[in-house]
Chain A
Amino acid sequence: MRDLNRRQFVCRSSAVAAGVATGLGTPTMAQAAANRWGDLVGRIVYDGTPPPRKRLVVDKDVACCGKFDIRDESLMVGPDGGLANVFVYVRSRRVDICPELEQSVEKRVTLDNRDCIFMPHCMTIWCEKQEYYIVNSDPVAQNVAYAPRGDIAANIVIPVGGDATWRFRLAQRTPVAIVCNYHPWESGYILPFGSPYAAITGKDGTFRIPKLPVGKLEFQAWHERTEYLDTPEWPKGRFEVTIKPEGTTLPTVKLAPAIFEKDAVF
């Protein structure tokens, strides 16, 4: 086993797993391999009445962007309290990666500039395997800028109908902010990660991280309002789970509104 750091979760495929991936091996080996991986699912809920989403000041390229109802996306709560845009990812070091995920991973992650916002607002990317594909569906030029620690910063103009393909070379421990220097209201986050084991909660607050190695793993939860999603149960947003081959479901996590009232400046 290579001595790897936390951000470089690499595949340490055992002979069993490799056998399954290539269609080789005996049924016993295949069964053993199938028992090596399990999903983690969970749901995160905002336990209260969310504040109305503020309408953002749209005072640039008004002819185009002014026609959209652009609102704050920093706290997205669904009708039944589900909290969207929470990053949940493996924090443990030296985590095996299921070979199936390496084969099935999408070639690229796409960010669209559409209706004068970033779509999607949050995303993860597996640095080694995926490209960051940026497009512009708006009738005005857009800008995408971010500066990950230890990696190349981007400050790209995306012309109308244009695109760009970027790469992240260094996995990060926390998501990286994306801004548009033309339209200050636009914001987004991306987590360049060293494995596929990173997820984002959807509109209903649920998330799924598929095919994790079974056994005890530590996870990190992060949200743009709180950064580390620090709760009494999850100090600094960290929690441990034992992944089982049949899958593991976390109890619904209810978060007090007070933790999201962090000062926007800091």
Chain B
Amino acid sequence: MSAFRRIGAERRAAGRVGTPLSVPVVPIAQAFLLCAAIGCVGCTASDLPPFRLNTEGRDPEALTGTQTEAIEDALQTLFGTPEEPAAPPEAGLRLDPLMRAAGPIRGDAEGNQRGLYRQHCAICHGISGDGAGSLAAVMYPYPRDFRNGVYKYTSTAGGAMPVRDDLDRIVRRGMPGTSMPSFATLPEEQIEALVEYLRYLGLRGETELFLFQLVVDEDEYVVDLDEVLDDGLQPAVDLWAEAGRAVVAAVEPASETPQQRRASAARGYELFSSKNAQCVACHGPEGKGDGEQAGTLADDWNRRKKGATPEQTKELARRFRLPLQPLWPRNFTQGIFHGGSQPIDLYWRIHVGIQGTPMPAGGPAPGASGVLTPEEIWHVVHYIRSRAGIDDK
């Protein structure tokens, strides 16, 4: 018998937990074709894989059946399944776009495409948003694992979450130099639906992390959903809600002449080379990504895999879905920037850093003066673009 306190039905009746979203019935023939298209010939919509528990960094065999059931039950009550997602009102998720992105690939009676996440994203990012889809292992960098609520490319200072526009930008533009393609040709409402689904996976993932802490680390098998909502979900929701106030608005200063632009780039090189900015430590003295830190770096998704001896590698494989992937500082001379090469893109990278990576925030933030002023950051942007050969003015 489950030790989970099954209070989801009561909560739904009270209106606190969202009703699972309805999924249109898919004709059998259509379902067969769609399943074949995604590589599970013969399955039906109800056979679609479930969310996989986030045991990243843990020994999955140490999990007891009771723990697994408690976590899965709580998550399913609050967030439904990949086929029938739900969302607690506290999450602030918009259900219509979420419904369009979720579930099996299909068209509805109105001719709308549904199952967009599975159609466009899951093969890399995984059904669970764990960044471990079937193609992930051969990619560099690995696809993003959304479940930690960490997104690399933001326009927000002080370690704040991204705003919707940040995710929208990545979906539309893709990430140059990675396997993430541009989805700019998708209709507006489909991009909107995908962005909402990414937020859903992030909020669900952060709630899951809290549940692991509660159930596995703290041995609380009787899960109180109110506690999960208040202490697991709500902090993440609050961070999302506050992100808008942290956006770094910036307008590139006008450089009237090529001489002024070159002078700015030269000043940028001085700043780039300064000991205070520490850019050279990773990017090297000439911006070729060959600083003294190169070869030793890893992002937050890989950091815990570092330092394993050959004997420990087998254990690593049990605890992590993907092997260690080192992180290489950007080589400016290649002219490829994952977060975009427009001046404002590079400005944000320097100003707010790259979340989940060693790239720190160089610009000012509330409580921190930073090492570069906005004006100085623009100089560095001009230097980087000149090194990349993409300074088009």
Report A's interface with B, CB cutoff 8 A.
Answer: 5, 7, 59-61, 140-141, 143, 145, 147, 149-160, 162-167, 169-170, 173-174, 181-182, 184, 228, 236, 263-266
Contact = CB atoms under 8 A, between A and B. Distances in A.
Main secondary structure of the interface of A (DSSP, over half): loop
16 contacts: A59-B292, A60-B281, A141-B275, A141-B371, A145-B358, A150-B239, A152-B239, A153-B355, A157-B278, A159-B371, A160-B276, A162-B369, A164-B369, A181-B297, A182-B278, A236-B219
Interface string B229-243: 011100110010000
B358 to A, nearest CB: 4
Contacts of B235: 150-151, 169-170
A141 B277 contact: yes
B236 to A, nearest CB: 6
B361 A156 contact: yes
Interface of B: 150, 158-160, 206, 209-210, 213, 217-219, 227, 230-232, 235-236, 239, 275-278, 281, 292-293, 296-297, 300, 304-309, 312, 315-316, 319, 353, 355-356, 358-362, 365, 367-371
Contact of B368 (A5, A7, A165, A174): A165
Given A150-B231, A150-B236, 15 more contacts: A5-B230, A141-B275, A147-B356, A149-B210, A153-B355, A155-B358, A156-B361, A162-B371, A163-B369, A164-B368, A169-B235, A173-B217, A173-B218, A181-B293, A228-B217
A154 B159 contact: yes
Nearest to A264: B307
A59 B207 CA distance: 39
B360 A143 contact: yes
A151 B150 CA distance: 11
B217 A153 contact: no
Contact of A149 (B209, B276, B277): B209
Nearest to A132: B367
Contacts, number: 112
A173 B211 CA distance: 13
Given A155-B353, A162-B371, A265 B278 contact: no
Contacts of B358: 143, 145, 155, 181
A166 B367 contact: yes
B371 A265 contact: no
B359 to A, nearest CB: 7
B68 to A, nearest CB: 19
B158 A152 contact: yes
A147 B210 CA distance: 14
A164 B367 contact: yes
Contacts of B304: 265
Nearest to B213: A173
Contacts of A181: 293, 297, 358, 360
A107 to B, nearest CB: 14
Contact of A5 (B227, B276, B293): B227
A155 B350 CA distance: 12
A167 to B, nearest CB: 7
Given A7-B231, A152-B160, A155-B361, A60 B371 contact: no
Contacts of B355: 153, 155
A145 B231 contact: no
B326 to A, nearest CB: 13
Given A5-B230, A7-B231, A140 B275 contact: yes
Contact of B370 (A61, A150, A157): A157
Contact of A152 (B159, B231, B232): B159
B231 A156 contact: no
A92 B309 CA distance: 39
Interface centre among B160, B232, B276, B309 (most CB of A within 10 A): B276
Nearest to B316: A265
B61 to A, nearest CB: 14
B275 A160 contact: yes
A157 B293 contact: no
A147 B281 contact: no
